Structure 1
């Protein structure tokens, strides 16, 4: 893939080595990273069986509780993080599937192009943000983790989360704006992680989303996963649609393309398993859609023949209204408080058991996001799903 803008910063390998040393002490054997080129499409980087570790890359397991404690220790001099609760309270059902959706804010964009005018530069440093991001993930320990704006996949998230029991896939944007930032860490993209103790992967498709058959700069990943214990399948997708006002038509076209591609994956799976159970495969589609609920792409998903609904409507009293915001930031152009992030699911095959609430305006504070308390301009969404018994 031809690169554009500034070259990647040279500290990527050093950064991961330092992070891994912090987490695992002197017993850690660093993963070799020199064979990974973030500028290449993900399919050319990873082995054909992308969930297998590269040969010669020893991986020793880490304890999630231990990593969480070390993150908290690294952040002990900072302000407290938001206290969030599940609504209704989680009943601890071991069969539930916990899903996290999060635009984590690409490091190059946070320090460069995004211009969060009231956020101190120190709060945007990677040395702080990496611990806040990992702390957020490990506080809720999702079985499926869908991330956008990931530009530290190879030197942080993949190696650390692999040692915590996650397998994953990453797909970078073809023309990532991160590459226009001096000292960047490579292109940003979407990443999908799953807990290998809960799931095995049957299929994975990396998509460059199209509009009117023309490829765009936005991408998606679609995975067919099978539960290790029940052998039931679920199809999971993660995406990040075009940002900014004036591009509503493009977001709608990209969303339509994603829905078609997800349906293709499900039909391909059904053809492979003909003669087996004929019930539809449950779908979970996560993403930063950059679209408020009044946009066409939202309506397109809500009225899709796939039977989708938005999980975070469960926070409202009538189960019909989206939250007031999933992102709240202040840029030179003004303040943005909007709902742009969603976890879609097939309501005929999945039940939403519980949803993680969102911090209040008072919690977030007058300078909004990101901040010393929170590493991204988008809030993480977390919910637990259960399979419907009649499926």
Structure 2
């Protein structure tokens, strides 16, 4: 069976609801989206036009929606069954969940054996599954002043995506998004919105937080798309407090196998004041098979909520200390590379901290020489976006910048970034919604290695 036909068969299985038939999607009138009734005007690829629809009337969470299908809590057993079938179709053996803090990458051998999925076909079928939802408003790739696309075949750019995708158990069970219809959070559809976003931009490195469907969804699908993945759960995930949860949430890191090979992996449980906390980080040193150069990638999710600023600062200090040790060139296999200094860093995460917080200052002033990529969207190159998350809870409206992509500015350069949607594009109900699957926006940038003096000789 060719990859396209296999992909189609798998997606048809995923489209079937727990009631035995296709999931109905009629949360708004046909006129809510420009174009023929019931169609989704969404064109794959960056830089191509999309038809923007008007926003459907947002209803308080839990309100009834005419024609909407019954929603199984958490995407519950039906979701697990469906994606269990997918995983078994892609691999001859089921995926086993590893220990909490393994020393090695638990998915290394499993991912190699999974069948190939055609990403274009999968993207088309995601769009077909979402045809009754409004298209995601188009986001432009912006080139900061003085930069241009890297055309050097020996040093192509590396696309990095950072995204808190919103744990399913938290979205439906704890977060209280009072202007988001419960139907919009249905995992049987929301998973397609997440996959559509990833497939549209096709990052080389993907860093995710609040992943509570790793083993039954993201690991088998991303492996079939050619990615190597690893996952680290929170020790005491709040998802476990929600009835019919899908297990703990945590951080996940994926890299494209055709572009990188793995050198080292570290799974960290972050400490504060010498005490272990509930937050974690994954740190991997990757070798770029095109340039032969190494890059260290980290993904983390720091403590949430106001009042915990000192804890976040301590967690950041602990992570920075670990990164300094990991990126030292002492273990380099190349004498030339060892002489060139520390391995350059890319650190992605939901820091749950505004730029005014101490943990942000720790990263921006670190001896590791880190800069925040999204500052480059501002006119002066020194100001973060106004928001990366915008939500309405019973406690009120929250519009904050909490998510970042940090990079070693002396060794890496940022060529372009995915722009932040406007308030109009986000809509009055804020995030999440029918066309934004998470309460956080995805961040994306293309980076490349700066030329080093010894490489120019």
When normalised by structure 2's length, the TM-score is 0.78
TM-superposed deviation, 1:92: 6.8
Which residue of structure 1 aligns with residue 411 of structure 2?
A: 349
Matched-pair contact (CA < 8 Å) for 2:353–2:360: yes
Deviation track 1:23-60 (CA, whole Å, cap 9, x = no partner) reads xxxxx82446755247x41528xxx45353339x9521
Between the aligned partners of 1:79 and 1:379, the Cα distance in structure 2 is 17
Between the aligned partners of 1:169 and 1:60, the Cα distance in structure 2 is 18
Give the SS at the match of 1:175: coil
Give the SS at the match of 1:205: strand
Which residue of structure 1 aligns with residue 438 of structure 2?
A: 376
Between the aligned partners of 1:343 and 1:15, the Cα distance in structure 2 is 34
Map 1:159-238 to 2 at 5 A: 159-238=220-299
TM-superposed deviation, 1:229: 1.6
Which residue of structure 1 aligns with residue 139 of structure 2?
A: 84
TM-superposed deviation, 1:390: 2.3
TM-superposed deviation, 1:88: 1.7
Matched-pair contact (CA < 8 Å) for 1:68–1:139: yes
TM-superposed deviation, 1:298: 0.4
Which residue of structure 1 aligns with residue 102 of structure 2?
A: 43
RMSD: 2.2
Matched-pair contact (CA < 8 Å) for 1:42–1:171: yes
Map 1:115-130 to 2 at 5 A: 115-130=176-191
Which residue of structure 2 aligns with residue 15 of structure 1?
A: 82
Give the SS at the match of 2:222: helix
Between the aligned partners of 1:246 and 1:380, the Cα distance in structure 2 is 26
Deviation track 1:337-386 (CA, whole Å, cap 9, x = no partner) reads 01000000011001110010011000001100000001000000000001
Matched-pair contact (CA < 8 Å) for 2:207–2:253: yes
When normalised by structure 1's length, the TM-score is 0.90
TM-superposed deviation, 1:157: 0.3
Between the aligned partners of 2:235 and 2:371, the Cα distance in structure 1 is 30
Give the SS at the match of 1:244: coil
Q: Please, which moves more after superposition, 272-281 or 366-375?
A: 272-281
Map 1:1-391 to 2 at 5 A: 10-11=77-78, 13-17=80-84, 20=86, 29-31=89-91, 36-37=96-97, 40-41=99-100, 43=102, 48=104, 50-54=106-110, 58-88=113-143, 91=149, 93=151, 95-267=156-328, 269-273=329-333, 275-277=335-337, 278-279=339-340, 280-390=342-452
Between the aligned partners of 2:304 and 2:433, the Cα distance in structure 1 is 22
Deviation track 1:258-288 (CA, whole Å, cap 9, x = no partner) reads 0011111112x53343633222311000000
Report the count of equivalent residues: 372
Higher RCO (CA < 8 A, seq sep 6+)? 1
Give the SS at the match of 1:41: coil
Which structure's CA Rg is the greater one? 2
Matched-pair contact (CA < 8 Å) for 1:225–1:236: yes
Matched-pair contact (CA < 8 Å) for 1:206–1:221: yes
Matched-pair contact (CA < 8 Å) for 1:8–1:179: no
Between the aligned partners of 1:76 and 1:8, the Cα distance in structure 2 is 20
Between the aligned partners of 1:379 and 1:107, the Cα distance in structure 2 is 16
- Distance change >3 Å, CA 91–CA 276, structure 1 → 2: closer
Which residue of structure 2 aligns with residue 24 of structure 1?
A: none
Matched-pair contact (CA < 8 Å) for 1:33–1:155: no
